[in-house]
Structure formats: C-alpha cells, structure tokens
Chains A and B, each alone.
Chain A
Amino acid sequence: MANDLELARRIAEGDSIAAEKFVRDLYPSVYRLMLHLTRHREDAEDLTQQAFIAVRQRISTFRGTAGLRTWVHRVAFNEYAQWKRRRKLTPPLPPNHAANDPGFGSFLAGESLLDALATLPDKLRETFVLYEVEELKVQEVAQILRVPVGTIKARLFHARRRLRAYFEGGTEVTNHEAKQVLI
C-alpha cells in the first residue's frame, strides 16, 4: 500500500513520468471494464478517459484504504453509473452495436458471452465482469461496488448459474432471480 500512496503522491505533485506510467498500466483494464459494461467502444473510451480525468482531479484524496487499482476502478465505476443514469434519458443503442464496429477482433470472439451477460441484471453483470473478466479479487469487487463480500459471492453464484443455464440450457433458473436485486 505504501507503493500506492507514494505513487499517488508523486502524481499529485506533478510527476509526469509516474503519471504516464500509471495511465498506461491501468488504462487497458479500466477500458475493458467500461467496454463490457457499455458494449459500446466509443462510450467506453470516453468513460475511460473521463475516469482518468476524475482520478487526476481527486488523486490527493486517495487514502490508501484500498489499493490504487481498486480505487481507480471505483472511480471508473462511478463514471459508468452516471453514464447509465444519463442514458436512461436517451434511447439506448442496439445491444449488438459494438459488435458491428470495424476492427472489433477479439471482442467478437467473446460476443456470445457478452450476449449472455446482457441477459443478466445489471448488478450481476457488473459483478461478474469485475471478477471474471477483470480478474479482481472478491474483496476488491466488494470495495468497488461498496457491498459486502458475501453479497459479491452471492451475485457471482447467481450470475454463473444463469450463464450456465444460458449456454447449456435445461438448468432451471428460478423466476425470482430475474427480479431479485441484490444489495
């Protein structure tokens, strides 16, 4: 954690080398998170950039109670949550819009999983993406989403179960799961 605190301090004090390395190290992970949550490349790029701007604006408030990576993901997730709220006011893009973008490459390879993820309630999907795609620890996901670890585990359980049903068929998914909003 001392490393993270020192890095935050160096960035806050204007160390451009540290700042550049910091952005380059974390950008792919934040971008992937945004991409898989929004399913839209341009939105993901915009949100990622906004997230890093927000990080720069608040870097001196980083207290080190979580890792810097976790903290950055938390800030990014806030940007996504705001985007989601704004988006409710405007017609959403078709869900497959992202896959139609040119140059999507490996994104296409994960398309059906993304389709499956799109069937999940937001909270399950967000949890699954953070844990399985971004490979964050359960504790880190809990810190990012600000819910207890047990809740994260429960969400992962439900997410996996529903995904399994999606891919394999025949596995009963109870109706209440579709309605349930886990804290």
Chain B
Amino acid sequence: MKQNKSLSDNARVQTELNALRAEAPREGAVDRAVSAFERTREVRPVASRSRYVWRSAAIATAAGLAVVASLIITSPKAEAAGLQKVAAAVRAQTIRHDRAYRPNKEGKMVLTNEDWVDGVKQSQIMFDEMGRKSTITYDGRLMYLDYPGTEPTIDEREPSKIPIEDVTAYLNIPGGKVLGHTTGFPETYTLGFSNMRFTLFINPQTQLPIARDVVDRRGFLIEHNDYDYPSNVPASVFAIPSGGKGVSDYPHLRGILAERLREPGETQHVGGVSVTLKAVIVGEHKILALWTGGGKGEYIPSGNFWIEDRERPYMQARPGAFGVPLETVDNVKVEPDIVVGNQPLRGDAAWFKDTKVKVPFKINIAVWAEDRTKPVILKDGTRAGFHSRMVGRLRFVVKAPIHSADPDVLLWKPVFAGDEIAVSDH
C-alpha cells in the first residue's frame, strides 16, 4: 500500500485514506453491471459472421500466437514435448517475419498485419477495417508512428515489443487440448480451446512454424498466419522516414526549441512585471506558449490568454496554464518558484481548440501581481495565499512558431520513456 510521504505523518488522514480505499460497492450493483456488460455488444455494425470476427489489427498482432492465460492444457507428454521443441526453435530466431490475414466484409481473406522483428528492431504494418494503414517502425533508437488521421511522428521511444510467438504458451491456455498431431511435411498440431481451434503447420526439419489457421467454434476461418525466418531484412523495412513538413521529428524539434529557450526572446513590461516570450509551439490540437517571468510577487495566472482575432478573452473554454522552473520539475519542488523569487520561470498556456492559426498571430497575456501585504484568510482563520490583481496585459506577435504534432510530447519526454522534461533552457 502506498505511503503518502507528505500526509502519512497525519494518522487521521492515513486512516481516512484507508477507509476510502476499502469502500465496497453495494450488494447487487456488480451483478447488474455484469448483466449489462454481457448484454452489450460492439457498437460496430455486424453485417455478417465474417465481419463480426474481424478484430483490431493491433490486438491480433500482439496476441497472435502468444495467447497467454492461466489454466493448464491437458496434452500428452509427447505432444507437449513436441511443442516445446517448436517454442525453442522460435526463440532462437533473431529475425522473424509474420503476416496475418483475416476475412473482410465480403469474407475474403486480406492482409491485416505484417510484422518484422530483427533483434530490437521491429516494424508493424496494420490495416483496419476501413483498409487504412498504420505503421510503427523502430530502428533501435527512433520510433516512427503513423496512424490514420494524425500527423506522423518520430521520437526516441521504444514501442511495445512484438511478443515472441512462444508456443509453450499454448500449454497454458484455459480449457485447451491437443486435438490432433500429424507427422510428415508439414507436421501439424491441432489445438482446441473454448472459443476457437487452430492448426499449426511446422517445418519438421527446422521445427519452426510456417503457418497457422484459426477457426472459430462454428468452423469459420477467422485468421491465417504465414511465418518465415529470413537471414536478413531489407534495409527499407526498418528505415525511419525523414522529418519535416507533415512529419514531426521530435528530437530535431527539441533541438530547435532548446535553441529558442537559450535566445533572449522578446521582453515586455507592464505594472512593474517583465515577461519574456521564449517560444510558441503550435500542435494539431493545442498551442503552447512558453515564457519566462521572475521577480518577486508576480504571477501569471491561467485562463487569461488568448489569440487575438481568433478567440475572445474569457469566452473560450478555459485553457490550462502551468508554470514551473525547468530545473526542478522532476521532483516537483516547483511551488515556491512559481510565485516568488528571481528564478526564471516557464509559463505555458494551452488552447485546445482548432489550432490552424495563420502566422503571424498575436498572443495576449494577462499579467497579475500578488499583493503580499494582503493575505487571504479563510473562515477558520487559515491563511490561503494572497490577494492578487491584474496589472495589465501584454501582446506578443508570434512570427515563427514551432510546429509539432503534440506540443506536450515535444516539451516532455513521453510518459513511458520517463518523466524528465525533454527541453531545458540551461
């Protein structure tokens, strides 16, 4: 159980927290939810059986042969040993090339997934029900992501590993059993499970799977896989496309952003407060403005930033604003520096509307200052900060914003790659 560092010394809080964690649903509520869940079906229209069995490319790719569960298959020892050999042979392969075919709306088998793996490098191509292509390519350092309807991106990220198709996992599938085993070429294993049955075709000389047919319990072919293990992979398979217009190359863009942050920027003054606009990042769904403040008692609050001629102040959906000194963001010791001190601050404001702005555009920033002589006193006598007042507003003309598919990803390394800020002005 988590121990809340800053609250754990308060026994009462910890007791209450434990009480909240222990809160249980009322009797019958779960049953009703189970019932509703089971009565619900996919939103997608189901025109035919073949359409119904079409599953998302990503699910099937990752699940593939590596279906994993927790019960025990009942198979004769000889067949289990045979499958173990196949598993060992697959694991020994550095290079794998898999293709999955599934029935389309007309019931025709079409390519839905193509995966390449060469050590840490991997490439996944997926086609959804509409025939739209998605690509994930990882060359060991960079990952290229291209999903329908979004701008392709390049970043220093590692994708989820394509699972090794370890047929020993078959031995652990619930309710599974070996239905048949034939020798010859190819050697086959037919395995049955609660909802499906599949036949694995093995090359007896290499003990490697070469194909698989999956049928549902009504006997419909729902997936066919081809497997091969070439000795080398065409260079183009793991090639990362060039960034540029229409493709956000985050490492490159972070370099540009870091350069902007090192530059002096444009400084304006109002009511004794100085604000320097360092950079503006325009994304597909968001605009991020980065500025520095500093100086005792000043504060630039959220909700008062707008793009002139595009949005009316105070009428827009409330944007987010966040000020943190870059150097301490990781341990979140940010609060004091937001309000006081002479440390350089980073403020950012975001617009979540359509971000197709015409360059140049103007940004207005409302500037507030705290009056440290006027504390806010709550009813119980607790001090809750200080009163503040708007001292004026500043207008900046943005002539050269940085374009990035997702400004947050540009500024922050992705969630799964760690939590450090990606760009610093130090």
Contact = CB atoms under 8 A, between A and B. Distances in A.
Contact of A157 (B58, B303, B334): B334
Nearest to A140: B415
Contacts of B358: none
A134 B17 CA distance: 10
Interface stretch (B61-69, B224-232, B242-250, B260-268): B61-69
A161 B6 contact: yes
B421 A150 contact: yes
A132 B2 contact: yes
A178 B384 contact: yes
A173 interface: yes
A16 B38 contact: yes
B20 A173 contact: no
A176 interface: yes
B160 A20 contact: no
B158 to A, nearest CB: 12
Interface in B303-357: 303, 318-324, 329-335, 338-339, 348, 350
B10 interface: yes
A63 B58 contact: yes
A181 B56 contact: no
B4 A165 contact: no
A165 B380 CA distance: 12
A160 B4 CA distance: 9
Interface string A170-183: 10111111111111
Contacts of B7: 160, 163-164, 167
B189 interface: no
Contacts of A150: 324, 329-330, 332, 412, 419-421
A131 B1 CA distance: 11
A94 interface: no
Contact of B26 (A20, A41, A174): A41
Q: What class of interface size applies to chain A in its complex with B?
A: 35 or more
A133 interface: yes
Contact of A57 (B24, B42, B58): B42
Highest count of chain A CB atoms <10 Å: which of B22, B44, B384: B384
A81 interface: no
B26 A45 contact: yes
Contacts of A9: 55, 59-60, 63, 67
A154 interface: yes
B339 A176 contact: yes
A133 B59 contact: no
B13 A27 contact: no
Of the listed residues B16, B163, B303, B380, the one surrounded by the most CB atoms of chain A closer than 10 A to its CB is B16
A182 B26 contact: no
B415 A56 contact: no
Given A150-B421, A174-B386, A5 B59 contact: yes
A57 B40 contact: yes
Given A148-B408, A157-B335, A161-B335, A103 B26 contact: yes
9 contacts: A53-B36, A60-B55, A64-B160, A107-B23, A110-B16, A173-B384, A173-B385, A174-B384, A177-B335
Given A32-B20, A156-B332, A178-B384, 7 more contacts: A19-B37, A103-B26, A110-B23, A153-B331, A161-B6, A175-B386, A180-B338
